Amino acid sequence: MIEIQNLSKAFTTPFGKKQVLDNFSLTVPAGTFLGISGKSGAGKSTLLSIIAGLQKPDSGKVLITSPAAQTEDDNLATDLFTLNDKELSLFRNKNIGFVSQEQSFLENYTVFDNVRLPYFIGKNKKPTLEETQAINKRTTELLEDLGIAHLAQSYPKDLSGGENHRVLIARALINNPQIILADEPTESVDSERTNQIVEIFKKLSKQGKTIILVSHDEKVLQKCDKICRL
């Protein structure tokens, strides 16, 4: 479960202070497929970034409760912004898959290696042969599910915007996180691929994963369990 308590966030612009989130609260139960919509500048991407722990709010909390919790118990909830940078990075890598609008890759790594990279972050020892084979198999399956298996040995610079966006989705899913945050994940892809991506998210939510998706596409939003309009 994700519990957002009284979040506020403002930015300083050449035209003065811009308040994008003002005492915003929201509870997202585990297994929910939530769509977020709103006008440009309403704070959608900022909200996702804060939930992921990539930005800090001016005030407020983001509490993430362990899926093992049987009841609401503060001892099982992680308050993101009480963690130090290393703890937050490791928590995010293990528990949160983030699909940003920015196509951030290691350009000298193939698509295959970019997707599987998060698996190796934070490991204290070299993975066994069996572990490496398992993550390679999962990487291949994710690329197949997203229709880009034929691009596994290509490099990000050689792919289209839509293809790279699907690489980001595969990378976000590689560690089998409990939470997936996706900022316009169907942007720059055709309607067939859009439907495939949404179906992947719906399947994951039915497995108990929590999905929060930002979109301007009303057809995509209508396939979510709930919609939050900012």
Q: How many CB atoms lie within 10 A of CB 45?
A: 19
User: What pLDDT digit, counting tens, does each position of 24-55 carry?
Assistant: 999 999 999 999 998 888 889 999 999 999 99
- Polymer length of the chain: 230
The total domain count for the chain is 1
Q: How many CB atoms lie within 10 A of CB 227?
A: 14
Question: What tokens does 21 get?
Answer: 């989130």
Pairwise CA distance, residues 40 & 45, whole Å: 10
Pairwise CA distance, residues 199 & 194, whole Å: 9
Helices 161-173, 111-120: axis angle to 10 degrees equals: 30
CA end-to-end span of the chain: 20
Q: What is residue 70's predicted lDDT score, i.e. its pLDDT?
A: 43
Residue 84's domain spans which residues? 2-229
Q: What is residue 71's predicted lDDT score, i.e. its pLDDT?
A: 46
Q: What is residue 123's predicted lDDT score, i.e. its pLDDT?
A: 73
CATH of the domain at 100: 3.40.50.300
User: What pLDDT digit, counting tens, does each position of 116-129 carry?
Assistant: 999 988 776 788 89
Pairwise CA distance, residues 7 & 25, whole Å: 6
pLDDT tier, 75 (very low <50, low <70, confident <90, very high otherwise): low
Q: What is residue 125's predicted lDDT score, i.e. its pLDDT?
A: 76
Contacts of 19 (CB under 8 A, 6+ apart): 8, 9, 10
pLDDT tier, 189 (very low <50, low <70, confident <90, very high otherwise): confident
Question: What tokens does 193 get?
Answer: 């691929």
Beta bridge mates, 227: 35
- The fraction of the chain above a pLDDT of 90, given in percent, is 62
pTM: 0.86
Q: What is residue 127's predicted lDDT score, i.e. its pLDDT?
A: 85
